[in-house]
Structure formats: C-alpha cells, structure tokens
Amino acid sequence: MNKKTDKASTPQRILDSAEALFAESGYDGVSLRMITKLAGVELALPNYHFGSKLGLFRAVIQRRSVILNNERMEALNALSDRAEIEDLIEAFIGPFLRRSLFGGEGWRDYARVVAQIANSPRWTSEIMSAEFDPVAIEFIRRVRVRFPVAKTEDVYWSFHFLLGAMTMTFAQTGRIDLLSGDTCHGSDLSEIHLRMVPFLSAGFCRLCKGST
C-alpha cells in the first residue's frame, strides 16, 4: 500500500495515486491496474467510484480546480475594476503558484497534469474549458476594463501567452535548472514571483496599450 495514502479514504487514495501516475506518464501511459496497485485497492474500485478511467481523470482535475478557481475568483473580486494589470495577474497566477510550490506533492503533481492537458488539443474543450473558463473569462473581462481601447485579439493573445508561461513554469520540469547550470531553480517561489508578474505585465501593456 502507498505509505502516503494508507490512512486516506478509498476514493482519496485512488485520486492521489492516479494524480501521481498521470503527472509522471500522462493519461495514455497509465492503466487502472497501475493506479489500483499504487493505491492498494481492488481493480474494480476506480470504476465503482468514478465510472471509468476518463471519469477518474476528470475527478483528478476537478478536485483541485474547485479550490484553485475559488481562490482566484476571491482574489479578483477583492480588486477594484480599475486595478493595475500587475494586480490582476497576481490574482490569477498567485494562488496556483503558492499551491504548486507550497501545497505539497499532490499540488506539484497536479501542476504537471494541468501542463499536460493545457498543451493537448484533446483536452481543450472537454476539460480545460469546462474546468477553467469561468475564471479565465472574468480575468479577461477585467483586463478589457483596464485596457478599454485594446483590440480583442490582443487581449486574448496576451492571456494565451500568460497560460503558456504559467503552466510551463509551475510544472517544475527542471528545464531551467539544467539549462542555467543551476543558476536558476524552478522551485524557487521568490525568484519566480519576482520575475513572472513584471514580465507578464510588460507583455500585456505592450500589446494592449499599443492597440488602437
């Protein structure tokens, strides 16, 4: 039995094990047998609790997306409609950044799973849109209030680039560690926060303030 989850409920043990395996090998690289072996449960139990492998995959995403979306929406709602772009970006990426770096192994695995589905057309409508669009739409609305003369396409492209930077960074792939010869560390919250918000803010300002 997985020592990390031996005191958890059966559905939680299944979710934790599935999340860890999906993070490592992707949806297609993981079987229900692998999940049940890691969770220490009978092979039939994932289907009993979640209906199918796809149902389990959705449940893995939904379990933490609810928390993440609530924290993001709360942070956005705490800002005025004329909030600076830096504050809007912080409200959107801050909850995920803190969770992925300080929320434990499960949140780090989750960040890797989100990075996988964010970069796959297969999951765009079925999971990404279903789970994350409400907060994304509110963020985009707030950006358009902040930059009222921005072209619609510039706002959406700016958000698209934000998502790419966020998902790659929070997945902690180790790429920057190796490339920089350990000068930079992908798990360093303070260094990421110091640079990511100003970097993304500059991009939004350049595209959206420059629109006519």
- Per the structure block, which two tokens stand in for 38? 């890691």
Residues 179, 184, 188, 191: what is their CA dihedral angle, to the nearest 10 degrees? -130
Q: Are residues 33 and 71 in the same domain?
A: no
Residue 122 has a CB neighbour count (10 Å cut-off) of 11
Of residues 92, 99, 58, 60, the one with CA closest to residue 75 = 92
pLDDT of residue 7: 58
Output the six-digit token pair for 184: 């930079």
The answer to whether 46 and 14 have CB atoms below 8 angstroms apart is: yes
* d(C-alpha 156, C-alpha 207), whole Å: 10
Domain count, the chain: 2
Residue that is last in its domain, among 51, 72, 89: 51
Separation between Cα atoms, residue 111 and residue 148, nearest integer Å: 32
Q: What are phi and psi of 95, to 5 degrees?
A: -60, -40
Q: Read off the tokens for 50.
A: 């979640």
Which parts of the chain have pLDDT scores under 70? Answer: 1-8, 210-212
Single pTM value for the model: 0.88
| Residue 59 included in any domain | no
CATH code assigned at 46: 1.10.10.60
Rounded to whole angstroms, the Cα distance separating 56 from 54 reads 5
In-domain check, residue 56: no
How does pLDDT run across 153-199, given as a tens digit for each residue?
Answer: 999 999 999 999 999 998 888 999 999 999 999 888 888 989 999 99
pLDDT given for residue 3 in this prediction: 45
